[in-house]
Structure 1
Amino acid sequence: MAEETADSAYHSNGSSPDEEAAERMEDEEQERLLSYWQSVGRGHQVDVPREMAEPIQQLTRNNNPQERQTIPFTLIQRKEKLGDLLYEKRQYGKAKWACIKMKEKQYEQSICLGFMKLMRYICEQNSSGLYLGITIPIVTIVHTNESQSEMRQSVTVAYYLPELLQDEPPHPFDSDIIIEEWPSTIVYSRSFRGITNEDSIMREINLLAEILESPELCLQDTFIIAGYTNPAAANRHNEIWFLQRP
């Protein structure tokens, strides 16, 4: 009789008790992750909507360091002083990027909202219907005035398409995301940690400008912030990139 009851229960809802328990655990994990991101978002004055729950969960599950694809580059030079690395000179090849322009009041708001849109593109909201995979760093193009004393509001958040997708990038469902091909570029890169906001970015720009022997060889009003950890991380690993003039 007990067996019949259990069998009837299984057929009435289409799942076994073990499957129901697994579904409950998955729902609880999704709620926990969403709640965490919403808490972080409030700290940046950003609202994380419920529709982000599934992309956040998918990105978290696939965020193993071994599965992240680092953007390839050729190291040209390492500049050190007393054993400390001051900066690296690198060459990045021509490549396709998924880009979105943002213009929020604060830089942190722009990168958080831009990153969430790119997350949805990465997590199946694209013409392939597949999870595209994480590449690092996620980069943000920022602009300053010519004197490098003030940062402009408009930024571009960009995701490097994995090598296997470079020839035929999946089409984004979000019309705000544009696939762009960037030319081969030489950059001067310096690492820093912590939050990225207007003050910390301007500080890093001025610091690298002082260290470089010939900063005039680089663009004076366009820079890149490379983020190796997501905006929800407490102690982020970042780089400031100066772009050598073509």
Structure 2
Amino acid sequence: MLGLVVIAICLLDSAASTKPSFCHDLDCPNYTVLRSFGGYELRRYEMSQWVTTRDLMTSYDSHKNSQMFFKLFHYISGNNTAGMKIPMTAPVVDIYTPGVGENNQQTVMEMHFMIPHNMQPYPPAPTDPTVYISMLPALDVYVKSFGGFSDHMTNLVKITELKNEINNSSLYYGDHFYTAGYDGPYSVNRHNEVWLAAKH
């Protein structure tokens, strides 16, 4: 019995040590690197639950972005049916789907906070009707990482760079893209990512 306990502790230590350093001490979604390339990598993410809100934008609006963030922040601060505080996770994932709405001139933006691992099976429901729990399916994504302070224009540049580096539009879905930010507004050593969903 003691031997099994020791093995279990070793496995937990091993799992903890494999968490990327850019997650800091926060829960992050589990993934496996399938292949590394020169300036990007292909990852496979496990299915996971997230708390989500969404909006339509004719052009990128930092005020709307901030409003969406605080809707999710209020959820983890206690605006949920359990009235409980929920630990912050990383990254904050945004999904952009351009070319929708009237005359295809709008973009759907979805913002996501991951539900902590120990709450994944049964997260409390949001009390804000514009916030909801969503399931992100298992997903393969091409990922480009970069440092520094990021903004929407930087993300667009990095997505273009990632597409150019992959150099084969048949390998990914080009109708939407993801951004992932891992750091608070006052962090200095920052880690950012842009993702493209891989085709199979």
Length-normalised TM-score, structure 1: 0.63
- Between the aligned partners of 2:155 and 2:62, the Cα distance in structure 1 is 11
1:79 partner letter:
F
Aligned runs of 1:99-118 on 2, under 5 Å? 99-104=52-57, 105-118=59-72
**Structure 2 equivalent of residue 196 of structure 1:** 151
Distance 2:136 2:166 in 1: 24
**1:107/1:72 Cα in 2 relative to 1: closer, same or farther (>3 Å)?**
farther
Which aligned segments of 4 or more residues in structure 1 are displaced greater than 3 angstroms?
Answer: 150-153, 232-236
For 1:71, the equivalent position in structure 2 comes to 29
In structure 2, the gaps of 5 or more residues are 1-22
Cα deviation, residue 125, structure 1? 1.4
TM-score w.r.t. length of structure 2: 0.77
When residues 138 and 99 of structure 1 are mapped into structure 2, their CA distance, relative to the original with a 3 A threshold, is same
Whether the 8 Å contact between 1:191 and 1:238 is mirrored in structure 2 is yes
More displaced, 157-166 or 106-115? 106-115
Looking at secondary structure, tell me which structure has more helix per residue. Answer: 1
Task: Decide whether the 8 Å contact of 1:99 with 1:156 is kept in 2.
Answer: yes
How far 1:202 sits from its partner (Å)?
2.1
Paired residues of 1:95 and 1:166 also in contact (CA < 8 A): yes
Flag the 1:151–1:122 CA change in 2: closer, same or farther, 3 A: farther
AA in 2 matched with 1:173: T
Structure with bigger RCO (C-alpha 8 Å, 6+ apart): 2
Aligned to 1:96: 49
Q: Does 2:153 correspond to 1:218?
A: no
Per the alignment, do residues 151 and 228 of structure 1 end up closer, same or farther by CA in structure 2, a change over 3 Å counting? farther
- Residue-pair matches, total: 172
SS at 2:174's partner residue? strand
Q: Is the contact made by 2:98 and 2:108 (CA closer than 8 Å) also made in structure 1?
A: no
Secondary structure, aligned partner of 1:111: helix
Partner amino acid for 1:218? Y
Please list the CA deviations of residues 79-98 of structure 1 after superposition, one character each: whole Å capped at 9, or x if unmatched. 12xxxxx1111001111111
CA distance in 2, matches of 1:152, 1:188: 25
Deviates more, 1:173-182 or 1:102-111: 102-111
* Structure 1 residue 215, shift from structure 2 partner: 3.3
Identity %: 25
Please give the per-residue CA displacement for 1:111-167, whole angstroms capped at 9, x wherever unaligned: 21111110000111112222111111010001235xxxx994320001111111111
Shift of 1:78: 1.3
**Inter-CA distance 108–237: structure 2 relative to 1 (3 Å threshold):** farther
Max radius of gyration: which structure? 1
* Equivalent residue, structure 2, for 1:140: 94
One-letter amino acid matched to 2:166? L
Question: Could you say what secondary structure the match of 1:209 adopts?
Answer: helix
Give the aligned residue type for 2:42.
Answer: K
Q: 1:172 aligns with which of 101, 122, 126?
A: 126
